[in-house]
Amino acid sequence: MDHPTTEPSGYAVDDLIARDIDAYLDLHQHKTMLRFITCGSVDDGKSTLIGRLLYDSKMIFDDQLTALEADSKKVGTQGQAIDFALLVDGLAAEREQGITIDVAYRFFTTTARKFIVADCPGHEQYTRNMITGASTADLAVILIDARKGVLVQTRRHSWLCHLIGIRSVVLAVNKMDLIGYDQARYDAIVADYAEFARSIGITRFTALPISGFQGDNVTTRSAQTPWYDGPTLIEALERVEIDTARDASAPLRLPVQWVNRPNLDFRGFSGLIASGTVRPGDAIRVLPSGKTSTVARIVTFDGDRAVAVAGEAVTLCLSDEIDCSRGDVIAAADAPPQVADQFEATLVWLADEALIPGRGCWLKLASQTVSATVQAPKYSINVNTTEHMAAKTLDLNAIGVVELTTDKPLVFDAYADNRTLGGFILIDKITNATLAAGMLHFALRRAQNVHWQALDISREARAAAKTQSAHVLWFTGLSGSGKSTIANLVEKKLHALGKHTFLLDGDNVRHGLNKDLGFTEADRIENIRRVGEVARLMTDAGLIVITAFISPFRAERALVRAMMAAGEFVEVFIDTPLDEAERRDVKGLYKKARAGALKNFTGIDSPYEPPEAPEIRVDTTRESAEQAAERIVNHILGNRLAMI
């Protein structure tokens, strides 16, 4: 194992610590911080390089070194020499497999900066981890094995870094020791990379010939590469501009995280300043309401501040009592962000389950969480060639451009202008898994130009004129479970009581409104979405809407529930077991499905997800249709009485 022959200036701090700890602490206190990622293919030597950086910056203690030496002999790949990669590869499983399977964060420091390194995996199936690591990085170190040159993975990692908005790239041509420090080979690799980089929009990068194993040009200039006169890796990392410094000069954006209201005399808006600079007296605008005010105070535990900048977590008091809550954005009055509900965006799909176009999910952007639906991709992007390809969905690690719609207006900036107000995640409403990372491009025109028409007569007034409350009675259950029969009985009973009702039947709707839809998963979702929208309009009119659709997926029923006012949606689960429904087979459909003549038939070759907490459950093997209808009517009218 080679020690650097000359001690680099960046690390020569031991002496200062021993001699004058106060001077050292003062130095450390004023350091800036750079977050970077390392990416490369399997065996490009990432872990070894990071282990080297930690080792050279004395971030390895004696006991760790002892363990490392023992581990190196046991499972190391470097013979008797220290295998630095073992320092970095944390989890037991991957130590055995010899690959990094997750993002690991490492820390080291020089006299100029503190560094946080995200070690990103090279395996194709772990693109999601790379995107994760890259999302918080100011800089990317792209590693290339000098023996192999620019590989498919190199292109993929570079493109992903560019996609996520990393502005600084260092190309580290590693394992120079294994090609005899050959300048011609190095120059060829750099030229090759430069051509590719230009093609994807990376205009500038710093290239270095290094050996993570031997330590050449990592922290010290190597005697083996006299032909190279650029910076060492550490020097390159110490010199690059940090993103937060640039963010401070952009217009003010403060997404409100939490309203601080300890008593009636204090009302502050807490959040991390995403961009810009703020001072007391500054004119601000609260989005989406558009109300304006001025900053009265910048409150912190350490006293009021005269100025605060991007990257700081503060609490603002305003001079006017205006509405402002979590999710709102406080912005520079003269340069506010946009507000829209339809967008074009790039998505990186992170979940095992593929995108289901049209299905509702949560979208979280800064402190805003809204319900969103994603349309089928306009195209997906081949990460190896950056070619656009036709796509109907996005699978794990796929990247595509989509249009999406939110149920409430979203305050946003284009991702290229502001990472905080342009970057979002999608969350599955049932499993709560993080489905995708997204980057907003722009709002679609139709959302900007279509405004809600305010109506003079309220929905409550319409319902009151009918002496009833609007409701949606949503019947769900297998084909042949008895939904339509019971729904019809309910409507007759309500009608007899003088209630204004309307029954939306699955088969009838498919003859008209939804005749363009088939029975694929995507079409079924769209079918339910349209029915939900129609039901919503009818509840606006004050009607009691009764629907009878198989509606097999929980997510879609939840989507419709979310469209309605609280308490308005009544889920009625007609719980007839599959064998019983199949035995009845009123329309002869089960027979056809079993014979293979009907595809995507619920219960046979398409799943039914029963409600977890329906308002009403009807077991048709124990209760007659008449009894069930009576119970449902009582439930509705009981609700109504309770409300009066």
* Of residues 326-385, those binding other proteins (CB under 8 A): 326, 350, 362, 364-367
- Nearer of residues 224 and 257 to other proteins, judged by Cβ: 257
- The residue from 105, 191, 283, 389 that contacts other proteins (CB under 8 A) is 105
Applying CB under 8 A, what is the total number of residues that bind other proteins?
A: 87
3-class DSSP state of 619: coil
Looking only at residues 121 through 180 of this chain, which bind other proteins when binding is defined by CB under 8 A? Answer: 128-129, 131-132, 135-136
Binding range to other proteins, per CB under 8 A, among 225-233, 296-304, 492-500, 547-555: 296-304
The CB-of-609 to other proteins minimum distance in angstroms stands at: 15
Q: Which of 503, 506, 490, 489 minimizes the C-alpha distance to 587? A: 506
Looking only at residues 413 through 432 of this chain, which bind other proteins when binding is defined by CB under 8 A? Answer: 419-420, 423-425, 427, 431-432
Looking only at residues 231 through 290 of this chain, which bind other proteins when binding is defined by CB under 8 A? Answer: 242, 244-245, 248-249, 257-258, 260-262, 266, 268, 270-272, 277
For residues 465 and 460, give the distance between their C-alpha atoms in angstroms, rounded to a whole number: 9
- Nearer of residues 164 and 443 to other proteins, judged by Cβ: 164
For residues 534 and 440, give the distance between their C-alpha atoms in angstroms, rounded to a whole number: 30
3-class DSSP state of 515: coil
Contact predicate 465/542, CB 8 Å: yes
For residues 233 and 400, give the distance between their C-alpha atoms in angstroms, rounded to a whole number: 34
- Nearer of residues 217 and 367 to other proteins, judged by Cβ: 367
- The residue from 1, 42, 101, 517 that contacts other proteins (CB under 8 A) is 101
For residues 620 and 572, give the distance between their C-alpha atoms in angstroms, rounded to a whole number: 12
- Nearer of residues 365 and 632 to other proteins, judged by Cβ: 365
C-alpha 180: how far from chain center: 44
Looking only at residues 553 through 572 of this chain, which bind other proteins when binding is defined by CB under 8 A? Answer: none
- Nearer of residues 87 and 535 to other proteins, judged by Cβ: 87
Looking only at residues 189 through 208 of this chain, which bind other proteins when binding is defined by CB under 8 A? Answer: none
Looking only at residues 48 through 77 of this chain, which bind other proteins when binding is defined by CB under 8 A? Answer: 61-64, 67, 71
The CB-of-518 to other proteins minimum distance in angstroms stands at: 32
- The residue from 3, 5, 30, 457 that contacts other proteins (CB under 8 A) is 30
Helix (H) or strand (E) holding 70: helix 62-75
C-alpha 338: how far from chain center: 20
The CB-of-563 to other proteins minimum distance in angstroms stands at: 20
Contact predicate 117/39, CB 8 Å: no
- The residue from 1, 31, 344, 521 that contacts other proteins (CB under 8 A) is 31
**The CA-based dihedral angle spanning residues 200, 204, 210, 216, taken in that order and rounded to the nearest 10 degrees:** -170
Tell me if 536 contacts other proteins by CB under 8 A: no
The CB-of-106 to other proteins minimum distance in angstroms stands at: 6
- Nearer of residues 86 and 593 to other proteins, judged by Cβ: 86
- Nearer of residues 128 and 155 to other proteins, judged by Cβ: 128
- Nearer of residues 326 and 510 to other proteins, judged by Cβ: 326
Residue 551 annotated in active site: yes
Give the DSSP per-residue string, 425-441.
EEE-TTT--EEEEEEEE
Looking only at residues 587 through 616 of this chain, which bind other proteins when binding is defined by CB under 8 A? Answer: none
Binding range to other proteins, per CB under 8 A, among 94-102, 399-407, 553-561, 615-623: 94-102
Q: Do β-strands 32-39 and 113-119 pair in parallel, antiparallel, or remain unpaired?
A: parallel
Locate 359 and state its tokens: 């299905």
Tell me if 23 contacts other proteins by CB under 8 A: no
- The residue from 57, 206, 315, 602 that contacts other proteins (CB under 8 A) is 315
- The residue from 2, 6, 12, 28 that contacts other proteins (CB under 8 A) is 28
- Nearer of residues 133 and 477 to other proteins, judged by Cβ: 133
Binding range to other proteins, per CB under 8 A, among 171-179, 293-301, 379-387, 535-543: 293-301
- Taking residues 499 to 518 in sequence order and writing x for each that binds other proteins by CB under 8 A, - otherwise, the string is --------------------
User: Which long-range CB contacts under 8 A does 562-569 form with residues at least 24 apart?
Assistant: 562/360, 562/371, 562/407, 563/407, 563/532, 563/533, 563/535, 563/536, 564/472, 564/535, 564/536, 564/539, 565/470, 565/539, 567/639, 568/469, 568/470, 568/471, 568/472, 568/539, 569/471, 569/472, 569/474
- The residue from 6, 32, 319, 627 that contacts other proteins (CB under 8 A) is 32
Binding range to other proteins, per CB under 8 A, among 108-116, 370-378, 471-479, 619-627: 108-116
Q: Do β-strands 399-412 and 338-349 pair in parallel, antiparallel, or remain unpaired?
A: antiparallel
Report how far apart, in Å, the C-alpha atoms of 121 and of each of 115, 131, 157, 424, 540 are. 19, 10, 10, 23, 52
Q: Which of 289, 309, 313 minimizes the C-alpha distance to 301? A: 313
Contact predicate 574/476, CB 8 Å: yes
Residue 153 — φ and ψ, nearest 5°? -65, -35
Residue 590 per-residue DSSP state: H
The CB-of-392 to other proteins minimum distance in angstroms stands at: 24
- The residue from 1, 73, 114, 194 that contacts other proteins (CB under 8 A) is 114
Report how far apart, in Å, the C-alpha atoms of 585 and of each of 109, 138, 291, 446, 589 are. 72, 62, 60, 46, 7
- The residue from 229, 301, 516, 643 that contacts other proteins (CB under 8 A) is 301
Binding range to other proteins, per CB under 8 A, among 19-27, 139-147, 524-532, 618-626: 19-27
- The residue from 37, 82, 103, 528 that contacts other proteins (CB under 8 A) is 103
Q: Which of 269, 334, 338, 335 minimizes the C-alpha distance to 308? A: 269
- The residue from 200, 433, 455, 597 that contacts other proteins (CB under 8 A) is 433
- Nearer of residues 363 and 618 to other proteins, judged by Cβ: 363
Q: What is the CA radius of gyration of the chain?
A: 31
Locate 271 and state its tokens: 């959040």
- Nearer of residues 308 and 633 to other proteins, judged by Cβ: 308
The CB-of-24 to other proteins minimum distance in angstroms stands at: 8
- Nearer of residues 87 and 490 to other proteins, judged by Cβ: 87
Give the DSSP per-residue string, 144-200.
EETTT-S-HHHHHHHHHHHHTT--EEEEEEE-GGGGTT-HHHHHHHHHHHHHHHHHH
Catalytic residue from among 211, 275, 481, 551: 551
Exposure string of 440-465, with b = 16+ CB inside 10 Å and e = fewer, is bbebbeebeeeeeeeeeeebeebbee
- The residue from 312, 341, 413, 575 that contacts other proteins (CB under 8 A) is 312
Report how far apart, in Å, the C-alpha atoms of 619 and of each of 158, 178, 481, 627, 629 are. 58, 73, 10, 11, 12
HSE (CB half, 13 Å, CA atoms) of 37? 28
Looking only at residues 445 through 504 of this chain, which bind other proteins when binding is defined by CB under 8 A? Answer: none
Which residues are annotated as catalytic?
551
